[in-house]
Structure 1
Amino acid sequence: MAITGTFQISNWQESVTTSMENNCKISNAVVDQSYSGDIIGTSQIHYQLYYNSEGNARFTGYEVLTLTEDQSKKIILQHAGKFEGGSASAQLDVIDCNFDDNLIGKTGNFISKEGGKADYRIG
């Protein structure tokens, strides 16, 4: 059974670590989000991003998702994605979960929408 819903970005702090020719750069970002749908919680992601000369990006990151119902319940997600044409998408891999071993190894994705929102699906 798939886990689905929406997340909303509430904070995005990004800093350039390496600048290159043609406006290419590498950045680090720390992103806070809130989840609704099958998962209700908050998360923080640490991204590393590479931007090409056209402003498109590839990114990887790790997310710690904390459930609202019980702050001790956490899901760890690994992200690998891209930002192109104003839209972000990524593959998600559940690499750890301290309350349901059946989630570990599940994969999913997200596709961004307007206003810092994205639809997610895992499983």
Structure 2
Amino acid sequence: MIINGDFEIISWDEETYSNVGERAKMTRASVSQSFEGDFEGDGQVEYLMAYSDDTTARFVGQQWISGHVGERTGSVVLQISGTFDGETAQATWTVVDGTGTEDFRGVTGQGGFTAPLGDRAAYTFDLTFPDAGSSDAAAE
């Protein structure tokens, strides 16, 4: 099942924990989000980021999302890996096996997001629910 939508950043709390060059640094960010579109719900993510002297960055994270896709309700944890080119963040997500609850129990999949500077981003997921058999081409 392919799902798409947007999320809004509700809060972003980022702190430097190591300076490693003139402008290079390592940071940790706690972020809250609100999702709209085919998946509606909330998210909480913890990012670890490494900024280069040119202020581009690479980041990894673990994200918990909770909400609904169609009539399916539940939560799941996503593993994130991405880059920031100074203007836009892009990342891929993978569902962490065994973390789904309620109707998301056993869900698998991957996706990602594109986030230009600001508080909104576009997301996409390709999810397979255990009772759905094969991937569908559209959200329910």
Using the size of structure 2 for normalisation, the TM-score is 0.79
Within 5 Å, which residues of 2 pair with 1:1-123?
A: 1-67=1-67, 73-95=74-96, 96-98=99-101, 99-101=103-105, 103-104=107-108, 106-113=109-116, 115-123=118-126
How far apart are residue 85 of structure 1 and its match?
3.1
Q: Which runs of 5+ in 2 are unaligned?
A: 127-140
- In 2, the alpha carbon distance for the partners of 1:108 and 1:61 equals 14
CA change 1:97–1:115 in 2 (3 A) is same
C-alpha contact (below 8 Å) 2:87/2:117 kept by paired residues? no
- In 1, the alpha carbon distance for the partners of 2:124 and 2:112 equals 6
Q: Which has the larger radius of gyration?
A: 2
**Cα RMSD after superposing both structures:** 2.0
C-alpha contact (below 8 Å) 2:5/2:123 kept by paired residues? yes
Q: Which runs of 5+ in 1 are unaligned?
A: none
| 1:73-95 Cα shifts (integer Å, max 9, x gaps) | 21211110011031000001011
Provide the identity percentage. 29
How far apart are residue 101 of structure 1 and its match?
4.1
Count of aligned pairs between the two proteins: 121
Segments ≥4 residues shifted beyond 4 Å: none
- In 1, the alpha carbon distance for the partners of 2:46 and 2:83 equals 15
C-alpha contact (below 8 Å) 1:42/1:68 kept by paired residues? no
- In 2, the alpha carbon distance for the partners of 1:32 and 1:116 equals 11
Amino acid at match of 1:103: V
- In 2, the alpha carbon distance for the partners of 1:60 and 1:114 equals 18
- In 2, the alpha carbon distance for the partners of 1:39 and 1:22 equals 41
How far apart are residue 113 of structure 1 and its match?
3.5
Partner of 2:130: none
